[in-house]
Structure 1
Amino acid sequence: MSEPLWTARQAMAATGGMLVGDTGWTCSGVSIDSRTIRPGDLFVALKDERDGHDYAAAALKAGAAACLISRGDLALEPALQVKDTLAALRSLGEAARERCDAIRVAVTGSVGKTTVKDALAAVFRAAGPAHWSVKSYNNHWGVPLTLARMPRDTQRAVFEMGMNHAGEIRDLSSMVRPHVAMITRIAPAHLEHLGSIEAIADAKAEIYEGLETDGVAIYPADDAQAGRLARHARHSGAAFMLDFGTAKDAAIRIESFETGLDGSRGIANVLGMRVPFSVKASGVHWAWNIAAIFAASAGAGLDAGDVAEALAGLEAGAGRGRVLTLAHPAGGSFTLLDDAYNANPVSMAAAISALGAARPGEGGRRIAVLGDMLELGPDEGAMHAALAEPLEAAGVDEVYTCGSRMRSLHDALPATRRAGYAANADEGLDLIRAAIRPGDVVLVKGSNASGLHRIAAYLADGSALGLTEA
């Protein structure tokens, strides 16, 4: 029988709380969502947009082992009562960190952090007991929740860290205390809050401040902010520094790279060792992703050949650049490039480049369906309009734009490329539904709040046109 994640008394000792009712419970997981509670979970009643205490009774009814609460008027048991549930969750996470010998890797960046985190999780799982952030649990409650869920026997763990404002990543990194801290890329995301690309780099570099004394700081050699990031890494006192990318003098670099709709392949030089690799994901940006994965894995003590073997079985997930071939009701098929999870100018350019590298079928076209990019600040109109240039360079035939900010791009496009504009994703779906024909290659991309992921999902599951995966 496997060891419980937490016993009641372990959780009490970690949080300084008071047990109410049964004191002999154990839990196999930690949850903050009563809708997805699993039998045996400890339910944590967080106060955010909603008050989790309103759902604690439902969590117990669904099988929760106990509830972590701060309100004594609820008359719920079994429970662990504390002064502040978020503070208690943080304490639970820190206790999990202290009792576990896992090598902890922290990942942040403006572009690619979730993709790289997910890939590292797959690599780490292939090497032994592993733990990782699910979805994009990368904020003030997602990181401590991920820590609190970490089993005692974990060998390697990877944590994603996100931010909107300066100081947020400093706090998260000090909680995780990573052995390896990596920044993927710096891009003009969150300009609305931070004001400049340099300020974004400074905020991301806070991840190095939480490093353990023997820690490894990793940064992108090809990035315009590489020098700034390296200075932060040195100032943090990191014991080791590694850079990655395509630069010829990077410690981990991509020597050759080819990409297409069937995937990407090439050769990586990992600290002097040349390693062939392949991955079932498309786009030139995967060269940097692969280099980042090799770099973090080297910092975590893994053999580069084993990393390459794990990468060969990796496939891009929904919204992360996956490629689907879908049957069309009129006969034949079309190709969907689903990169709809999120977007900023750098990731947009990379996705458009991937579309340009794709070869449509007979009679097909390259079609881009693009949604708003958010948090870009006062220059957001110019940044959206500037996408007209990479769309031209990629030879995109038709561009459909969705959202008020994308109006700037729509107006900047030549009439021959301006296929349609919609105020939102739902209206955009109606345009796309009528436009797709056999042989087309269709890219769908936009910031999460733009709703473009719904268009990608409708196309992928066949509900948009009565389609099925070929």
Structure 2
Amino acid sequence: MKWTLKEIASATDGVLYHADDENKEVVKAAFDSRSLQEGSLFVPLVAERNGHEYIESAISNGAAAALWSDPIEQAPKDLPIIQVEDTMKAFQQFAKWYLKKVDPKIIGVTGSNGKTTTKDMVEAVLSAKYKTHKTVGNFNNHIGLPYTILEMPADTEAVVLEMGMSEAGEIHVLSMLAEPDAAVITMIGESHIEFFGSRAGIADAKMEITDGLKPEGVLIYPGEEPLLAERTQKLPSERKRTFGKNEDQDLYALNVQSEMRQTSFSVNQAPGLTITLPMPGEYNVQNALAALLVGLEFDISIEQSAEKLAHFQLTKNRLEWLEGFNGAQLLNDAYNASPSSMKAVLRYFSSIESSGKKIVVLGDVLELGALSEELHKSIAEAIDPKAIDQLILYGTEMGVVYKTVKEDFTLETIRHFSGDKTPMIDYLRKTIQPDDVVLLKSSLGTGILNVVNELKK
């Protein structure tokens, strides 16, 4: 990646100052002054802190130029400066310009749950034919998406962009920036329902991914979701593809088999082929179906996709098996949660076989607003006391689950903790035996990942 100062100024509608050579090249764009490398463009974003305050740190870490929206008189005189009206908008404009310059196939992925897993699967499938790039970690918002694009190697042929949201209008911005050739909606759940009021509101927000979809672009979505079926009625049939569990969908699964560390299935378009995912959970088959449909849109056969899916790399902290401090097996899914994803992983965990105890640790699901009590109570539907030997609940909201299911457990097999996690960690370290399997699931903000780190080898 190399861009000249002249190119950046043109792409951002900026004015170049203090530059001896407008054809001087920069090699990276970063908004964190600490992550710069020699020859980088510094993008000082204005949020809770004014990023312009860190210009000296940026220079000491190798900045070769900077965008600038503060008064030009305040800019350093010995550094090329590109004056813009708004550094955030300029950052996004620059990314859009670079995306058009590289001109890869563009796939946008959103959904209440499963978008990171689906993004990883889609990237794996596309790698069968194209040189790929994808969103890393959780860089999926109005800052992370342009950063992902500007990290894209110049020879990229297909880019997979995860699109997250916490309020209406956010995915519209991301979709208009990316202008995807294909868009995927994984599912409509309850994540961020606090800000949308209902699943219908969430569905409206997720459909914003079609706002920037190219005129010939295709939307891929779960056809058994009534909220999406209703909202896609006006979309021409040649521009939509559906996946699901029944024969009404374009692609549906057959013969699903979920084991402790992998899941296998076949599909209606290749019934004789067994597709294996290196991860547990029947619900991940839906994510794989979406990825298979993306592959078909870009001339990748199901056979080619299956080969890639068998070895794809899942982003860390998404349903990963870890070895515990004493040899017990930990199923870590503590990066994100919604009531629907929590119920799905509980049903999977209940179905596995274990020579030791099956222990479940659940933390609060956040951002459910006024519906929090009702939705937490619904999690109890998936808690099977005959299949779970020990249930540990953490957080204020999980108190609802505790009250709902405590009569189904003995005093020795259910615990509820809140506040300081140390007593819970101590209890778990005393309780977990080498042959046990332990599920840990919660929203990231609950901090159960810290518990995982205390319990793993």
TM-score by structure 1 length? 0.89
* 2:397 match: 405
* 1:392 match: 384
* 2:118 match: 116
* Deviation for aligned residue 1:209: 2.0
* Deviation for aligned residue 1:185: 0.5
* 2:451 match: 455
In the alignment, the residues of structure 2 paired with residue 265 and residue 14 of structure 1 have an alpha-carbon distance, to the nearest angstrom, of 47
Contact map agreement 2:358 2:437 (CA 8 A) in 1: yes
Report the count of equivalent residues: 448
* Deviation for aligned residue 1:273: 7.0
Cα 1:387–1:273 shift into 2, 3 Å = closer
* 2:338 match: 344
Higher relative contact order (CA 8 A, sep 6+): 2
Tell me the alpha carbon deviations over residues 328-381 of structure 1, each in whole angstroms, 9 at most, x when there is no partner: 1xxxx21111111100011001111221122222xx211111111111121211
Structure 2 SS opposite 1:254? strand
Structure 2 SS opposite 1:413? helix
Higher deviation after alignment, 274-283 or 288-297: 274-283
For structure 1, the residue ranges without an aligned partner over 5 or more in a row are 463-470
* Deviation for aligned residue 1:218: 0.9
Query: Alignment partner for residue 8 of structure 1, among 1, 5, 9?
Result: 5
- Once the two structures are superposed, the pairs formed by residues 269-418 of structure 1 within 5 Å of their partners are 269-270=268-269, 275-326=273-324, 328=326, 333-361=327-355, 364-392=356-384, 395-414=387-406, 415-416=409-410, 417-418=413-414
Cα 1:275–1:50 shift into 2, 3 Å = farther
* Deviation for aligned residue 1:47: 1.1
Contact map agreement 1:358 1:441 (CA 8 A) in 2: no
Contact map agreement 1:368 1:400 (CA 8 A) in 2: yes
* 1:268 match: 267
Cα 1:448–1:214 shift into 2, 3 Å = same
Cα 1:59–1:158 shift into 2, 3 Å = same
Query: Alignment partner for residue 199 of structure 2, among 197, 200, 212?
Result: 197
In the alignment, the residues of structure 2 paired with residue 228 and residue 446 of structure 1 have an alpha-carbon distance, to the nearest angstrom, of 31
In the alignment, the residues of structure 1 paired with residue 214 and residue 302 of structure 2 have an alpha-carbon distance, to the nearest angstrom, of 23
In the alignment, the residues of structure 2 paired with residue 281 and residue 287 of structure 1 have an alpha-carbon distance, to the nearest angstrom, of 10
Contact map agreement 1:215 1:238 (CA 8 A) in 2: no
Cα 1:327–1:438 shift into 2, 3 Å = same
* Deviation for aligned residue 1:456: 2.0
Contact map agreement 1:217 1:238 (CA 8 A) in 2: no
Cα 1:274–1:46 shift into 2, 3 Å = farther
In the alignment, the residues of structure 1 paired with residue 449 and residue 169 of structure 2 have an alpha-carbon distance, to the nearest angstrom, of 30
Contact map agreement 2:399 2:416 (CA 8 A) in 1: no
- Once the two structures are superposed, the pairs formed by residues 105-184 of structure 1 within 5 Å of their partners are 105-184=107-186
Structure 2 SS opposite 1:189? coil
Contact map agreement 2:350 2:384 (CA 8 A) in 1: no
* Deviation for aligned residue 1:306: 1.7
Structure 1 SS opposite 2:202? helix
Contact map agreement 2:277 2:311 (CA 8 A) in 1: yes
- Once the two structures are superposed, the pairs formed by residues 18-57 of structure 1 within 5 Å of their partners are 18-22=15-19, 23-57=22-56
* 1:422 match: 418
Contact map agreement 1:45 1:53 (CA 8 A) in 2: yes
Tell me the alpha carbon deviations over residues 379-398 of structure 1, each in whole angstroms, 9 at most, x when there is no partner: 21122122222111771121
* 1:245 match: 244
Cα 1:321–1:202 shift into 2, 3 Å = same
Cα 1:264–1:40 shift into 2, 3 Å = farther
In the alignment, the residues of structure 2 paired with residue 33 and residue 133 of structure 1 have an alpha-carbon distance, to the nearest angstrom, of 17
Structure 2 SS opposite 1:265? strand
Contact map agreement 1:323 1:336 (CA 8 A) in 2: yes
Cα 1:183–1:424 shift into 2, 3 Å = farther
In the alignment, the residues of structure 1 paired with residue 302 and residue 152 of structure 2 have an alpha-carbon distance, to the nearest angstrom, of 25
In the alignment, the residues of structure 1 paired with residue 214 and residue 444 of structure 2 have an alpha-carbon distance, to the nearest angstrom, of 34
* Deviation for aligned residue 1:80: 2.3
Amino acid of the structure 2 residue aligned with 1:302: I
Structure 1 residue 186 and structure 2 residue 188: aligned?
yes
Contact map agreement 1:403 1:425 (CA 8 A) in 2: no
Contact map agreement 2:321 2:329 (CA 8 A) in 1: yes
In the alignment, the residues of structure 2 paired with residue 141 and residue 297 of structure 1 have an alpha-carbon distance, to the nearest angstrom, of 28
Identical-pair percentage: 32
Cα 1:384–1:106 shift into 2, 3 Å = same
In the alignment, the residues of structure 2 paired with residue 366 and residue 89 of structure 1 have an alpha-carbon distance, to the nearest angstrom, of 48
Higher deviation after alignment, 7-16 or 21-30: 21-30
In the alignment, the residues of structure 1 paired with residue 298 and residue 87 of structure 2 have an alpha-carbon distance, to the nearest angstrom, of 32
In the alignment, the residues of structure 2 paired with residue 251 and residue 289 of structure 1 have an alpha-carbon distance, to the nearest angstrom, of 14
* Deviation for aligned residue 1:262: 2.5
Cα 1:117–1:452 shift into 2, 3 Å = same
Contact map agreement 1:106 1:161 (CA 8 A) in 2: yes
* 2:434 match: 438
Higher deviation after alignment, 295-304 or 108-117: 295-304
Structure 2 SS opposite 1:248? coil
Higher deviation after alignment, 217-226 or 154-163: 217-226
Cα 1:5–1:276 shift into 2, 3 Å = farther
In the alignment, the residues of structure 2 paired with residue 46 and residue 145 of structure 1 have an alpha-carbon distance, to the nearest angstrom, of 12
